[in-house]
Amino acid sequence: MHHQPLDPPIYRALIRTWADRGRTLPGRHDPEWARLAAPSAMYGYERFSATRDPRDDGR
């Protein structure tokens, strides 16, 4: 029988703190990343367009 060793207490505390603050955690689903990496987001350039700098004349 093979079992995985437990994470050190300091690591478990860090993961708990991050989870409490709503941060992304290794090995867990990240809805924001999934949304940004979705094929529809990759082609929706207008959603991510930046405003032009008025000092930039395009040259």
pLDDT single digits (tens) 10-36 = 999 999 999 899 888 888 888 888 888
pLDDT the model gives residue 17: 94
Mean pLDDT for the chain overall: 76
Are the beta carbons of 33 and 24 closer than 8 angstroms? yes
**Cα R_g (the chain), whole angstroms:** 20
Which has the closest alpha carbon to 47: 56, 58, 36?
36
DSSP letter (8 states) at residue 28:
S
Q: How far apart are CA 24 and CA 27, in angstroms?
A: 9
Q: Token pair for residue 31?
A: 């809805």
* Other C-beta atoms lying within 10 Å of the C-beta of residue 56: 7
